[in-house]
Amino acid sequence: MIPLAEITAATRALQATADRLDDDRVRAPSLLPGWTRGHVLTHLARNADGGTRLLTWARTGVETREYPSLDARAAEIEEGADRPARVLAEDVRQSARRFADAFALMPDEAWGRVVQWTAGARHPAARAADARLTEVLVHHVDLDAGFTPADWPATFTTRMLASVTASYARRDDAPSLRLRATDTGEEHGHGGVLVTGPAPALLAWLLGRSPGTDLTGPEGVELPFLY
């Protein structure tokens, strides 16, 4: 399970970026099609609250849904996206604090309790910690405000490269890949197309955050939507 210290460090970096944005910049486009930076920041705040509810469910045994529905989740993001920059930044700060408080309250045995995400998937509550770190780090890049895949912690990049290649190996719509990181020497996957490049660039490509032009071997490879 991801320790709270990793989530806290990633959140502090995100918060520093959010605090620097003014009203004009939060209304500018993010790297996500159709979303402004305000949409991304609102999504990150509501994601923290959704994770808090899942952890509360696991701790108390009382069903506390991540979101009422996927439609409700989308509506909350849309309604919150046009708020002033200072309000958006404070929402990110306070929601992250609620998540950290819920994390700290979790007894060891609660992390293995199974809870249900809005889309219907059921996982041990520890998955909420892993998912939160991924949300913060990947969507920080999506803000297009100075934080790039090269800023991802090496431990996160290595874990995610292993996770994504394993996920692809289980999918019928994904290519067979072997990844070789030229900066760390690590390899992921077996057989299939060999793609090489720096570890952060490999992960950014797999996550759809890069066209892969800084890699060797991805030409003609069609990647399914992952995240």
pLDDT value of residue 1: 82
Tell me the percentage of the chain whose pLDDT exceeds 90.
89
Give the mean pLDDT of the chain: 96
What's the rounded mean pLDDT across residues 33-51? 98
Helix (H, G, I), strand (E, B) or coil at 34: coil
What's the rounded mean pLDDT across residues 45-65? 97
Question: Can you give the C-alpha Rg of the chain in angstroms?
Answer: 18
pLDDT value of residue 46: 98
In eight-state DSSP terms, residue 150 is G
Residues 215 and 181: their CA atoms lie apart, in Å, by 10
Bridge partner residues of 188 (DSSP):
179
pTM: 0.95
Q: What angle do CA 128, 81, 89 make, to 5 degrees?
A: 70
pLDDT value of residue 62: 97
For 141-171, what is each residue's pLDDT tens digit? 999 999 999 999 999 999 999 999 988 888 8
Q: Are 148 and 209 in contact (CB under 8 A)?
A: no
Residue closest to 44 by CA, chosen among 104, 119, 95: 95
For 101-130, what is each residue's pLDDT tens digit? 999 999 999 999 999 999 999 999 999 999
Give yes or no for residue 227 having a pLDDT over 80: no
What's the rounded mean pLDDT across residues 86-115? 98
**The two structure tokens encoding residue 222:** 């069609």
In eight-state DSSP terms, residue 183 is T
Residue closest to 57 by CA, chosen among 136, 130, 124, 132: 124
Residues 45 and 26: their CA atoms lie apart, in Å, by 14
Give yes or no for residue 74 having a pLDDT over 70: yes
Handedness of CA 70, 73, 77, 78 (dihedral sign): positive
Q: What distance, in Å, lies between the first and last C-alpha atoms of the chain?
A: 20
In eight-state DSSP terms, residue 68 is S
Tell me the percentage of the chain whose pLDDT exceeds 70.
100
What's the rounded mean pLDDT across residues 57-71? 96
Q: How far are the Cα atoms of 140, 141, 192, 223, 227 from residue 209, in angstroms, in the given order?
A: 12, 8, 22, 12, 10
